[in-house]
Structure 1
Amino acid sequence: MKHLTRRSAVSSVIAGVAASAIPFGSSASAADEPKKTEPKRRTRFAVSSYSFWQFKNEDLRPIETCIDLAAEWGFDGVELLEMQMVNKDNATLQKLKQRAFVNGMDLSGFSTHQGWVNPDADVRNKNTQKTINSIEIAYKLGIPTMRVNTGRWGTSGNFDELMANRGIEPTLEGYTEDDGFKWVIDGLTECLPTAEKCGVTLGLENHWGLGRTPEGVMKIVRAIDSPWLKTTLDTGNFLEDPYDRLELMADDAVLVQAKTYYGGGMWYTLDLDYPRIARLLNKHSYNGYVSLEFEGKENPKTAIPKSLKMLQAAFEAA
């Protein structure tokens, strides 16, 4: 017996209604009927609070300011950077949730930092507990997805040096990448019961360290094989061949972070083809948020609205 899905059941009903509307003896054919097209779903755009603050603009650090400006400029949601938050007590979290609500905005994502690429078990355990605490904050804010990282070896002198080396750094002496992958897989696995309990889907980002390549990200995601661990795509973190690499992660994407660089990038500038990226995401049936991460030197108050208009045009044309 053929399995009847909800889609096929609805289609059968629609077909029956359409057939009954044709008069008996009518010579109408399928060619005479107007062609039906699927309505195009509007892409929803968020903006990361990082786009305002960028670790340097203290007047744009308050999350409340970011929410208000995002609403004023026409975004649908805001992605919060945990590191940017000054207070994380429950009263503050609920006020932020209310502020987004009265502005007609979603709190659409939560970006966190953690690192399990460390031979010290105590350090790894602290990062696991930190990530669990972040999941619980996301739950209190009503945020459905949270960006997570692998962490990195830390053998670069600083982030500027890491960027100068295109995100590549050697392993710690005496350890291999296989060691690092095991540590990350174990740490994320410990976080998943809390993610499931809170209904927060983790999105592992292509964000340096063992997540610098799509193969590295997907090795972790496939090894864990949980509906509560998917991917966050950052369009600006593949410095070479970004489109083919993004596509390797696209089927599992729960959030897309779209980089722009007006005024020149703070560490580098990529000339990203957003109509092509939009077509790529459509091909993989991605229906989630596209969250702007402005990482240029122009004033965020002019560059962020400019970025939104560019992204809207690119995705509308796709």
Structure 2
Amino acid sequence: MKISASTYSFGNMLYSGEISQLDCIRKAKDIGFDAIEFVDILAPEGTSKEEYAKRLSDECKHLNMPVSSFTFGADLLNGSEGNIHHEIERVKKMVDIAVILGAKVIRHDATTGDGRSFDSILPFLADTCHEITIYAASKGVRTTVENHGFFCQDSDRMEKLYNAVNHENFGLLLDMGNFLCADEAPEKAFGRLAPYAFYAHAKDFHMKSAMLPDPGEGFFKTRSGNYLRGAIVGHGDVPVLHCIKALKNARYDGYISIEFEGMEENMKALTIGMNNLRRYIKEA
């Protein structure tokens, strides 16, 4: 397994305007990552997403940093601007951008839900994901949905979606931390879903029970009311090593991308997290 850095992990620096996505590539390289994952395309004003994707691709080639994945949001049930057809076409255009980047895997979200049960909307979600993955396959890009966004987050729902789409070009992006958002044990979820993984995120959280007082700034609530705060990989409560063992048991040999969203300084957090993750991969 090789280790990638998500541009999202530079969030404190990136979204403040201190650095750009172009700078993230060099910083990830300097830390020692094997590859870079882009989360959306944050093009400067006056530059199209396609133009900026080409610049990012050129820089990756110059620094010999493969693009491990391209991640972006979507809501295939509620649509973009209330238009589901428009959303599907937008996702297909993002597949085209993945081609420019040189990414062979993308993650698009499924949905945040609309009040109906998961099982009742599953056929529609599956058909939509199927349409997108067929288009992506024609471009040489594999598609995934992540355990993300509370609604499509539990391992049983993810497994149902995977089986319903039923296409060799469609798989899952498994995030080690995100199962806690749905109050599910990550190691159990990974044991269940690892055979379907096309990609993985290493994310850690500090967790406090809903029975305890609100810990305050930096924490958010899980679906049932527990408290989570982003942590350096290896410093929190996510069983990272156990999840890696589950991936190895399933013979997964793809990228694991660090997705850090803690309060610590980005460069230091990523350096510590990467070193911990490399050690865990060797130990697993």
Q: Same fold (TM over 0.5)?
A: yes
Q: Once superposed, which parts of structure 1, at least 4 consecutive aligned residues long, lie more than 6 Å away?
A: none
- 2:104 alignment partner, one of 130, 140, 144: 144
Q: Which residue number corresponds to residue 17 of structure 2?
A: 59
Any unmatched runs of 5+ in structure 2?
A: 207-216, 221-227, 230-235
The alpha carbon displacement at 1:83 in A equals 5.5
Mapped contact 1:195–1:201 kept (Cα < 8 A): yes
1:301 matched to 2:267: yes
Q: Which residue number corresponds to residue 292 of structure 1?
A: 258
Q: Which residue number corresponds to residue 225 of structure 1?
A: 166
RMSD over aligned CA atoms reads 2.4
Q: Which residue number corresponds to residue 77 of structure 1?
A: 35
- 2:58 alignment partner, one of 94, 98, 105: 98
Alignment of 1:142-181 (within 5 A): 142-153=102-113, 171-172=114-115, 175-181=116-122
* Letter of the structure 2 residue corresponding to residue 136 of structure 1: D
Report the TM-score when normalising by structure 2. Answer: 0.83
Sequence identity percentage: 23
Mapped contact 1:148–1:202 kept (Cα < 8 A): yes
Whole-Å Cα distance in 2 between the matches of residues 271 and 295 of structure 1? 14
The alpha carbon displacement at 1:273 in A equals 2.4
- Mark the CA change 1:88 to 1:316 in structure 2 (over 3 Å): closer, same or farther: farther
* Letter of the structure 2 residue corresponding to residue 286 of structure 1: Y
Whole-Å Cα distance in 1 between the matches of residues 27 and 9 of structure 2? 12
Residues paired across the two proteins, number: 256
Q: Which residue number corresponds to residue 258 of structure 1?
A: 202
Mapped contact 1:132–1:191 kept (Cα < 8 A): yes
1:206 matched to 2:147: yes
* Letter of the structure 2 residue corresponding to residue 212 of structure 1: Q
Per-residue CA deviation, residues 129-181 of structure 1 (Å, 9 max, x unaligned), is 1111111100111100001211112xxxxxxxxxxxxxxxxx53xx4433422
Mapped contact 2:186–2:239 kept (Cα < 8 A): no
Mapped contact 1:107–1:143 kept (Cα < 8 A): yes
Whole-Å Cα distance in 2 between the matches of residues 126 and 54 of structure 1? 32
Structure having the larger proportion of residues in strand? 2
Mapped contact 1:79–1:107 kept (Cα < 8 A): yes
* Letter of the structure 2 residue corresponding to residue 44 of structure 1: K
Report the TM-score when normalising by structure 1. Answer: 0.74
Q: Which residue number corresponds to residue 68 of structure 1?
A: 26
Any unmatched runs of 5+ in structure 1?
A: 1-42, 154-170
SS class of match (1:211): coil
Whole-Å Cα distance in 1 between the matches of residues 4 and 154 of structure 2? 25
SS class of match (1:58): coil
